[in-house]
Structure 1
Amino acid sequence: MKHFLQRAAGIAAAAALLAAAPLSQAHEYKLGQLEIGHPYARATVPGQPAGGAYFSIENKGSAPDRLVALSSPVAKSTEIHTMAMEGNLMKMREVDGGLEVKPGQKIAMQPGNGYHIMLMGLSKPLKAGEKVPMTLTFEKAGKVDVTVNVEDAAAGAAGKDDMKGHMHH
């Protein structure tokens, strides 16, 4: 009976670890009064010159701050972009002067909606399961290094066709 109970306890512990595993995918970073939540990118296909990265930024402070620059060794350049519908066409534009995060504001970057990060001039395809480094630079809080989890291309709100029919300006 003792062996059975030990084995049952071991199975229960393993099940608890497995149940908690998806929670470990959510990763956050803190920089001063800013919280950066779950940085991730979508997997790309060979020959695809650019990819998208997403995360949330929450300002828990009493003063605004601004995301002014990003960099990653997997891309020649990175840009903060916004997308908006103009008539029947989705238009994507670089955000000039950085992205302001007001006190108490949370900006959630996600596929097919609002803000996102463009990784331009990829050195190689982004593969699901990989982790890539990225440095975020804020006007007041300074720099923070984050790990970007590369997820399946279908991850996020808009699915695999996120970039189809978009016009870049």
Structure 2
Amino acid sequence: MLKNLLILAALLLPVSFAQADQYKVGELTIAQPWSMELPPNAPAAAAYFVIHNSGQQPDRLVSVDTPIAATAELHEHVHANGLMKMQQVPAVDIPPGADATFAPMGYHVMMLDLKDKSSLIEGAQFPLTLHFEKSGNITVQVVVLKQAPMQGMHNH
């Protein structure tokens, strides 16, 4: 009986961890903020998360900032002339009842001119402040991972 409970607890642990990584501002929920561990000489890093809008009105992520980088920008990957390229975007819309997914090969926060590379080691965390047009600002803790989380890779 105890062995079964321990197995069940071990199976539920990742779900509990994922649920704990949620932040709420206004009608928006920001889930699973994460970044990939990088080598010490990396000039830039990216952060990912999912924003869910449970409200009746659209909102917009207009900017981001973090103390670990001189500049943080909203970017997206796009297909152009058969090539994938990354480009800065002025804002990201979050329609009512929908998700805006920030994931590899999609929207992401690009952090340039890194100031604190010790924040990009597996298991470390760093603050990232999201600035929304209607809901205001919220600071989330971005967890640095060795590889992308499975739940962070889905799209709605």
TM-score range, shorter chain: 0.7 to 0.9
2:96 is equivalent to residue 103 of structure 1: yes
Report the Cα distance in structure 1 between the residues aligned to 2:101 and 2:83, rounded to whole angstroms: 22
1:23 aligns with 2:29: no
1:162 corresponding residue in structure 2:
none
Match of 1:87 among 81, 84, 97: 81
1:104-143 aligned within 5 A: 104-112=97-105, 114-123=106-115, 124-125=117-118, 126-143=120-137
Which stretches of structure 1, 4 residues or more, deviate above 6 A after TM superposition?
Answer: none
How many corresponding residue pairs? 146
1:48-80: CA deviation from partner (whole Å, max 9, x where unpaired): 110111111111111111111211111111100
Structure 1 position 57 matched with structure 2 position 51: yes
Question: TM-score normalised to the size of structure 1?
Answer: 0.79
Given candidates 29, 32, 54, the residue that maps to 2:26 is 32
Give 1:35's aligned amino acid: T
Q: Give the gaps of 5 or more residues in structure 1.
A: 1-7, 158-169
| Larger Rg over CA atoms | 1
Instruction: Tell me the TM-score normalized by structure 2.
Output: 0.85
Cα distance in 1 for residues equivalent to 2:82 and 2:40: 30
Cα root mean square deviation, aligned: 1.8
CA deviation after TM superposition for structure 1 residue 148, in Å: 0.7
What residue ranges of structure 2 are gaps of 5+ in the alignment? 151-156
CA distance in 1, matches of 2:5, 2:67: 39
The one-character-per-residue Cα deviations of 1:117-145 (angstroms, maximum 9, x if unpaired) are: 10111121511111111111111111111
Say which is worse superposed, 56-65 or 16-25, in terms of deviation. 16-25
Q: 1:43 to 1:22 in 2, by over 3 A?
A: same
CA apart distance, 1:156: 5.8
Structure 2 distance, partners of 1:44, 1:137, is: 26
SS in 2 for 1:155: coil
8 A Cα contact 2:93 2:100, kept in partner: no
**Are the counterparts in 1 of residues 53 and 94 from structure 2 also a CA contact under 8 Å?**
yes
CA distance in 2, matches of 1:59, 1:73: 26
